[in-house]
Amino acid sequence: MNAFARGRAQRSSAPATAADLLERALAEPPPSHVRVEVLRKAARAELQAGRGRACHRLEEAMALAEKRVQTELASELAQTYATLFCWTDAVHVLERALASLGEAPPLTAAHLQSQLVAAGLQDARVAPRALELMKQMSRRRLLGAPAVILAVARGMVAIMTGRRAR
């Protein structure tokens, strides 16, 4: 696959063209040691083109990736589902990722949890799980993005329930 042509297509605001070129690259197929990265790039191009196939690309990448990369891909997959307004799918991906974390750094867990709260509050079918996780997170001292997301989530809940935000 011509990386120059793919890069040029992505930079020239032709995400559909870039996605199609990456589709061809996957059909060739690329060597196994770079397939995960090609799938990831294809997913990003598919998302920019507004194609739901982006999620399938990331799911395939997760299945092939080493354990240490799977959490990162799960986060990206959840973000992709959220971008496509598939909130429950995002929550399910994050729940699976959290369940398989094991001895991960606390910041990794907090990042996934904050993503789950942000996505979960968007859909009544999964909002109770997001609210419960929000309570659990409120008992811990958070820093960085997870702390910001938790604060925004509290504001969202306050607005949705007609209470004043603190």
CA–CA dist 13, 84 (Å, integer) = 19
Read off the pLDDT of residues 63-85 as tens digits, 9 standing for 90 and up: 999 988 999 999 999 999 999 99
Question: What pLDDT, on the 0 to 100 scale, is given for residue 1?
Answer: 46
Whether the link from the prior residue into 31 is cis, omega within 30° of 0, is no
Query: Is residue 75 a part of any domain in this protein?
Result: no
Q: Are residues 121 and 161 in the same domain?
A: yes
Query: Is residue 138 a part of any domain in this protein?
Result: yes
Query: Is residue 140 a part of any domain in this protein?
Result: yes
State mean pLDDT over 5-9. 51
Q: Is the pLDDT of residue 100 over 70?
A: yes
Question: What pLDDT, on the 0 to 100 scale, is given for residue 166?
Answer: 65
Closest CA relative to residue 80, chosen from 59, 63, 96, 98: 59
pTM score over 0.75: yes
Domain count, the chain: 2
Tokens linked to 97? 């990722």
How does 112-136 read in b/e, with b if 16+ C-beta sit within 10 Å?
A: bbbbbbbbbbbbeebbeebeebbee
Query: Is residue 7 a part of any domain in this protein?
Result: yes
Q: Is the pLDDT of residue 13 over 80?
A: no
Q: Are residues 58 and 91 in the same domain?
A: no
Q: Is the pLDDT of residue 56 over 60?
A: yes
Q: Are residues 40 and 116 in the same domain?
A: no
Closest CA relative to residue 116, chosen from 142, 155, 72, 150: 150
Whether the Cβ atoms of residue 87 and residue 122 lie closer than 8 Å to each other: yes
Q: Are residues 100 and 138 in the same domain?
A: yes
Query: Is residue 70 a part of any domain in this protein?
Result: no
Query: Is residue 133 a part of any domain in this protein?
Result: yes
Q: Are residues 58 and 106 in the same domain?
A: no
Structural domain of 159: 86-166
Q: Are residues 114 and 160 in the same domain?
A: yes
Q: Are residues 46 and 100 in the same domain?
A: no
